[in-house]
Amino acid sequence: MIKIYAKPGLIDFNQLLSPVKIYIQIVTKFSTMKSFTDKYLFLLS
């Protein structure tokens, strides 16, 4: 893993990871929205 970071092929590695990063961002946004909605519904009930 460390060797990959040291090599000049770092850009390729980042391009490989970017969809994963985007997916994680979407999931975190979704989960925070869900928790917010749950809190809101809890306050209403």
Q: How many domains does the chain have?
A: 1
Q: Is residue 2 part of a domain?
A: no
Asked if residue 31 belongs to a domain, the reply is yes
Q: In this predicted model, what pLDDT tens digit does every residue of 7-41 receive, in sequence order?
A: 665 667 667 788 888 999 999 999 898 888 888 88
Buried b vs exposed e over 16-40: b needs ≥16 C-beta within 10 Å? eeeeeeeeeeeeeeeeeeeeeeeee
pTM for this entry: 0.47
Band of pLDDT at residue 43, cut at 50, 70 and 90: confident
What's the domain range around 37?
17-45
pLDDT the model gives residue 26: 92
- The predicted pLDDT at position 6 comes to 56
Q: CA geometry: angle at 8 spanning 6 and 9, to 5°?
A: 100
